[in-house]
Amino acid sequence: MMNELSRRDLGRLLGIGAVAATLPPLFAQNQPPRSSRRGGIRLSANENPYGPSTSAANAMRDAMRLVNRYPDEAQDELVTTIAKLHDVSADHVILGDGSSEILKLTAAAFSSPTRKVVMADPTFEAMGEYARASGAEVVKVPLTSAYAHDLEKMAGVPSAGVIYVCNPNNPTASITTKQNVRAFLQSLPQDTIALVDEAYFHYADSPDYESVIPLVQMRPNLVVARTFSKIFGMAGIRCGYAIAQPSLIRRMNQQKAWDSMNVVALAGAQASLLDTAHVVEGRKRNSQTRDEVVNAVKQMGYEVVPSQANFIMINLRRGVRPVIDSMRANGVHVGRLFPALPQHLRVTIGTPEEMRSFVTAFRTVAA
């Protein structure tokens, strides 16, 4: 059934024409902000507001007929597809229940009470929690003034088992340049694992950014994590994967629960990888909406960290907590407080309609 699904989706994709024409302006005249939906507008978790592609949604519905079966064949097929996508053999791939499981497996396999985990401050917090569960000390290194990872200082931490690099970074949406990442990987001792989290890879379009998956074959201490939660719109289904050399994959698999993936997520992921048009359109939608929101916020006099993701970080120049609360009172849920940047507000890029509501509420709160 999974093979039939793949052929069907591939045939559909071969007939897809050009991506939809340019989207209408975000703040076009005669388009009043939408009233808040029940519970408020959710711009707090860096989710994709458009959801999965039609082919992925259909595949997940079809997969419900297989929920009485274990997911072994579906796992093998997705691993084969991912390996082909990245031009590696299947033993370079491990699946996860979201990329969060990849982070957990890396911490469990390569950190310990004597092997630290090094991460930026701020960055995605989950890695630190998983490291502490392994008894590892967590060392946080502040971002640079350009909101990049300070890779030189991170690499200088003694007894590091894992150095975690989220690129583009969450919560800042900033990147660490490809030149600095390459130099970091080249200089890193081979007994220290570099875990590069590329959850937001698909949104990045800067010439100074690149994926490091092509470097895996040359770097026996490199693990690269990807997710289906962001551009593919499957945050609630949970599917991710990592690419690394087989020796690292084997050690991570030793920490992994059997059959942690489910057939619905596997079917959605398989179909998503075949639907390249969905990625192109998602990137285009996000970029256009993000640019117009950034311009609106800047016109109010606020600075925004240059974003290469599906969210932005606004420098409020004052404590962020009251603003978060006031935005919620106005029906818009924005990102939480990040202690390392207590004056910065993280806002997910939603639909144009949602972002009109955000700008209206933000203008009210800011005033």
Helix (H) or strand (E) run with residue 226 in it: strand 222-227
Number of residues written out for the chain: 367
Helix (H) or strand (E) holding 99: helix 99-110
Q: How far apart are the first and last CA of the chain?
A: 57
- Do 283 and 299 have their domain in common? yes
Record the tokens describing residue 67, joined without a space: 């929920």
Tokens of 359: 């700008």
Residue at a domain's end among 221, 247, 274: 274
pLDDT tens digits along 191-241: 999 999 999 999 999 999 999 999 999 999 999 999 999 999 999 999 999
Domain co-membership, 28 together with 125: no
Which pLDDT band holds residue 38 (cuts at 50, 70, 90)? low
In a shared domain, residues 70 and 18: no
Per-residue model confidence as pLDDT tens digits over 75-92: 999 999 999 999 999 999
Question: How does strand 240-243 pair with strand 303-304?
Answer: unpaired
Cα torsion through 225, 130, 104, 112, rounded to 10: 100
My answer on whether 17 and 67 are in the same domain is: no
Angle between helices 99-110 and 246-253 (to 10 degrees): 90
Angle, vertex CA 349, rays to CA 363 and CA 242, nearest 5: 150
* Whether residue 217 is found in the same domain as residue 360: no
* Same domain, residue pair 115 and 71: yes
CATH number at residue 20: 3.90.1150.10
Please write the tens of the pLDDT for every residue from 258-269.
Answer: 999 999 999 999
Co-location of 218 and 264 in the same domain: yes
Pair 89, 202 in one domain:
yes
User: Considering 225, 249, 274, which residue would you say is the last residue of a domain?
Assistant: 274
Residue 37: phi and psi, rounded to 5, are -75, 170
- Residue 20's alpha-carbon distances to 12, 158, 278, 280, in angstroms, are 16, 51, 11, 10
Overall pTM > 0.85? yes
Tokens describing residue 280: 């192109």
Beta partners for residue 227, in sequence order: 240
Domain count, the chain: 2
Domain residue limits at 122? 56-274
